[in-house]
Amino acid sequence: MQSKQHATRVELNSDQLLTRQILASLTTKNLPPDDIRPEMLIHAELGIDSLKFIRLILEVEARAGRTIFNVETIAAIKTVDDLYTVLQ
């Protein structure tokens, strides 16, 4: 299992790594970035409420220096992997 986690870490691009760090800072679960898995539900498992979710979106775009999300992509995001898909 450890090698699978390592492989996931290696496959993440810089936007995805940044997003995982931001999620870790916003979660109510006190998780380090490396413990945030793609299949985790953003609201239910990470405790990210609507206000924190908006903050996440704004912070990712601000740090990336570009617009990434639109209304359709934001509405479709349920899991961390959904975020990663948008960032690819």
Q: Show pLDDT as tens, one digit a residue, over the chain (88 residues).
A: 444 444 444 578 888 888 999 999 999 888 999 999 999 999 999 999 999 999 999 999 998 888 999 999 999 999 999 999 998 8
Structurally, the chain folds into a number of domains equal to 1
Handedness of CA 10, 32, 66, 70 (dihedral sign): positive
Q: What is this structure's pTM?
A: 0.81
Which letter, b or e, does each residue of 52-62 get, where b requires 16 or more Cβ atoms within 10 Å of its Cβ? bbeebbebbee
Q: Where in the sequence is the domain holding 24, given as residue range(s)?
A: 2-87
- Give the model's pLDDT for residue 63: 87
What CATH number is attached to the domain comprising 60? Answer: 1.10.1200.10
- Give the model's pLDDT for residue 16: 86
Handedness of CA 65, 86, 41, 39 (dihedral sign): negative
